Structure 1
Amino acid sequence: MTTVHRETHRTHRIGWLRAAVLGANDGIISTASLILGVAAANASHASILVAGGAGLMAGAMSMAAGEYVSVSSQADTERADIERERLELAHNESHERAELAAIYVSRGLDRDLAGQVADQLMAHDALAAHARDELGISEVLNARPVQAAMTSAATFAAGAVLPLATALLAPPGALAWWVAAASLVFLAALGALAARTGGASLVVGTARVAFWGALAMGVTAGVGALFHAGAGV
């Protein structure tokens, strides 16, 4: 008897990887940008740390809530489509069988073989076959709101801790430079890790994350400096 080797593909990681990268990236960028903006407005060291800590908590909760609502909406749509497909199978099975066979013909099977495949798959689990091949909903890629929310919140907090810890340890006179430099290093490392995990280009992944992080921090620091200049007029 031949043993079938079950392969693991990178698409199996796409759900948690997307939420993890988005959360950590947002945690680093938003917290570092907030710290730099407040620092540029000439706030005290204690005020900068309070702002960074508040940003960490608010951002983690916002990420969790936003991700949960977003992915729940996706899950609701998937359930509605599956229920509609269930009704169509109950009322017009022959049409659904022809529809499934046509999908396989469009993928390269001849008409007779496509019909046989459709018959066998529908006999095994008609709803699962239509959900997968007609709707594009599979067990690997379907929406998981709680998982996405918890992953986003945890990774946001983990990312936000890095610039906040840097601000805590940095000399007050050079805090902005320390936070900016350290955050770019953290972002570059995150981009490289995400690219490696997802099988993408390390250079492109690293450069993309670092560029947008630098832009966000630069703009926020500029706004903080403008507020400080305006307050001094």
Structure 2
Amino acid sequence: MDSLDLSRVKVSDADACLVLANKYSTNPDAEDAANIMRVISIKNYSSDIRVIVQLMQYHNKSPHTPAWLNDYLRGAGMEMYTEKLSQAFVGMSFPEAADIDKDMLTNPAVGDAHKKPKQSSKQSSRDTPDWLNLYLCGAGMEMYTDTLSHSFVGMTFPEAADLLFTRLGLLLLAIELKDEENRECNIAINPGPSCVIQPQTQGFFIAQSADE
């Protein structure tokens, strides 16, 4: 990792760093190896920071890595998680939020069980509690990113979010904000009416599929 990037995100001032795997990677072992090297790079830059990395393959956990690497990682204070990373949220003080986080981490595909309520809404509402229908609908959704159309330029965030939801059924959660020189960017979650959409603004959506 570039030391300039690590300096830009202020790694030296952080208490912890979370390295997430790319779930769409076609080579999970290579993805895990790259993330382990990223951890080593972070620890070399800031030895006191706690680093947590998500591994895609269970056999890549530290007990199965070479002894020299295990010794280094233990000294670095690194912790590894596979798909169990999502389960860490279960013990949080807000169980409902934990379920949402777990769904977003696992990103379950929309299977037949989720499609059936849509095909027969009357039957689902009669046989299944409303809260369960809503939960199944939400659990079938995933998070996507895309550049907002030029038509949204000049709108406030609430105006754009309202238009996207009422016209297209898309839930706009956040947008990417850049400084005037486009050197740094931040993710603004529901920033409010003070935030105005600029050209080439990246949006973060929740939807049933990327086609939406």
What is the TM-score normalised by the length of structure 2?
Answer: 0.24
The structure with more strand, counted as a fraction of residues: 2
Relative contact order, CA 8 A, sep 6+: which one is greater? 1
Larger radius of gyration: 1
The structure with more helix, counted as a fraction of residues: 1
